[in-house]
């Protein structure tokens, strides 16, 4: 049954369905992340509903698509997320070295210092992590990650995480999937594919990663970046008003950001478990995030400013059917009765952008363009 918002929605522009790789910054492909927003969508929304030099807030920044596009378009950026991997990706894209040469020099410096770090005892590394790597590869990757963390080098840290697991030779793990980590040792048994289980050197693989990244324009003006950090919307506090909010709140009961990124996240936070429940798995938890957004984000939006929300719609997963956009809008209006709907855009999500087998979970997105009167 169509909801009121969906009934008034207009179809997304045809340009959103195409991929214009030439127009996209290579930094968008810095590392994998489930449920990523297409750059063309973020770019068009920012062009339509913000102006140059506007302060744009994204309090659910994910892989950093909106903050990166905003900075490239000359907007000033505030970006936050609770997921440490999301924060690393967002910062990496906004803090990339100015050139391939600068990045390569930084890489040699980090690798040299990493070799001086102490080795890990086997019992310090969970078994579910160890099973993905040759022991020597894992030691070197961990010490490199530690050096990047110590130097707050989010760019090279993201480069490492981007090549952490896959079955291709340019990656560090035993044969495994790229997006969601699981071993593919049945398809590639060790006795038949011995070369896929050998030690893998960091330097040539990270150098190749840098060359791929710097094929295109990677320059982001640092003065466009006001603040990026790990922060829950429930504790969000800003020192300024914002001209616009453009963000994609976590889709209720649709994606498992922690579980699906767990191996990369463990390199960032060694307390990460092999499985953790999502904060949006239950409707009440999702409602709490919406309420916190209303209290702690919308209050900073200037009068007449736009709040653009990309919301997964008509979720069917784990025997629960929900309409998050309608529910979210009702709760926002209850907090801010002056909010009005300026535009609703409906965008079908192609199978290639879904992270669930057989295209389960969210089938489409509603883009809610709200104006604060």
How would you class 118 by CB atoms within 10 Å of its CB: exposed for 0-12, middle for 13-18, buried for 19 or more?
exposed
- Same domain? For 185 and 326 the reply is no
- Same domain? For 368 and 224 the reply is yes
Q: Is residue 268 part of a domain?
A: no
Q: Is residue 93 part of a domain?
A: no
- Same domain? For 208 and 224 the reply is no
The pLDDT, as a whole number, for residue 273 is 87
List of residues 6+ apart from 251 with CB closer than 8 A? 35, 280, 311, 312, 315, 324, 361, 362
Q: Is residue 194 part of a domain?
A: yes
List of residues 6+ apart from 24 with CB closer than 8 A? 39, 40
- Same domain? For 205 and 124 the reply is yes
- Same domain? For 351 and 234 the reply is yes
First to last CA, the chain: 31
- Same domain? For 56 and 148 the reply is no
- Same domain? For 14 and 116 the reply is no
Domain that holds residue 148: 100-213
The pLDDT, as a whole number, for residue 168 is 95
- Same domain? For 16 and 137 the reply is no
- Same domain? For 143 and 209 the reply is yes
- Same domain? For 236 and 292 the reply is yes
Of 90, 112, 69, 101, which Cα lies nearest the Cα of 157? 90
- Same domain? For 109 and 201 the reply is yes
Q: Is residue 330 part of a domain?
A: yes
The pLDDT, as a whole number, for residue 134 is 98
The pLDDT, as a whole number, for residue 286 is 81
Tell me which long-range contacts 100-105 makes (C-beta under 8 A, separation of at least 24): 100/210, 100/211, 100/214, 103/155, 103/156, 103/210, 103/213, 103/214, 104/207, 104/210
Q: Is residue 35 part of a domain?
A: yes
Instruction: Report the number of distinct structural domains present in the chain.
Output: 2
Q: Is residue 169 part of a domain?
A: yes
pLDDT tens digits, the chain, 373 residues: what are they? 346 676 688 988 888 887 666 678 999 999 999 888 999 999 999 999 999 999 999 999 999 999 999 999 999 999 999 999 999 999 999 999 999 999 999 999 999 999 999 999 999 999 999 999 999 999 999 999 999 999 999 999 999 999 999 999 999 999 999 988 999 999 999 999 999 999 999 999 999 999 999 987 667 888 999 999 999 999 999 999 999 999 999 865 456 777 889 999 999 999 988 876 655 556 777 888 999 999 999 999 999 999 999 998 755 544 445 567 888 888 898 888 889 999 999 988 754 444 444 444 456 789 999 999 8
C-alpha separations of 87 from 218, 287, 326, 339 in Å: 18, 23, 28, 29
Please say whether the beta carbons of 310 and 37 come within 8 A: yes
Collapsed DSSP state (helix, strand, coil) of residue 9:
coil
- Same domain? For 308 and 242 the reply is yes
């Amino acid at each position: 049954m169509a909801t009121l918002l969906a009934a008034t929605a207009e179809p997304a522009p045809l340009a959103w369905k195409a991929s214009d790789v030439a127009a996209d910054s290579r930094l968008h492909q810095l590392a994998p992340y489930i449920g990523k927003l297409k750059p063309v969508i973020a770019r068009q929304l920012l062009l339509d509903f913000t102006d140059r030099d506007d302060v744009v807030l994204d309090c659910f920044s994910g892989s950093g698509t909106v903050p990166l596009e905003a900075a490239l378009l000359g907007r000033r950026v505030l970006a936050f997320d609770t997921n440490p991997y999301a924060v690393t990706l967002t910062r990496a894209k906004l803090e990339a070295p100015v050139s391939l040469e600068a990045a390569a020099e930084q890489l040699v410096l980090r690798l040299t210092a990493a070799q001086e770090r102490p080795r890990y005892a086997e019992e310090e590394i969970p078994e579910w992590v160890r099973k993905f790597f040759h022991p020597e590869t894992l030691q070197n990757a961990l010490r490199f990650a530690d050096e990047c963390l110590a130097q707050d080098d989010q760019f090279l840290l993201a480069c490492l995480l981007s090549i952490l697991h896959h079955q291709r030779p340019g990656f560090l793990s035993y044969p495994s999937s790229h997006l969601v980590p699981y071993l593919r040792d049945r398809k590639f048994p060790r006795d038949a594919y011995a070369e896929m289980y050998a030690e893998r050197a960091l330097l040539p693989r990270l150098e190749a990663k840098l060359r791929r990244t710097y094929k295109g324009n990677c320059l982001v003006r640092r003065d466009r970046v006001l603040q990026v950090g790990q922060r829950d919307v429930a504790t969000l506090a800003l020192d300024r008003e914002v001209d616009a909010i453009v963000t994609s709140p976590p889709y209720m009961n649709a994606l498992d950001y922690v579980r699906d990124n767990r191996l990369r996240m463990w390199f960032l936070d060694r307390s990460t478990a092999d499985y953790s429940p999502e904060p949006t798995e239950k409707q009440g938890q999702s409602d709490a995030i919406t309420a916190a957004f209303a209290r702690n984000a919308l209050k900073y939006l200037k009068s007449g400013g736009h709040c653009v929300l990309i919301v997964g719609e008509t979720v069917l997963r784990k025997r629960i059917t929900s309409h998050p956009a309608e529910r979210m809008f009702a709760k926002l209006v209850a907090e801010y009765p002056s909010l009005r709907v300026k535009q609703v855009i409906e965008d079908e999500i192609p199978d290639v952008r879904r992270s669930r087998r057989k295209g389960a979970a969210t089938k489409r997105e509603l883009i809610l363009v709200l104006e604060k009167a």
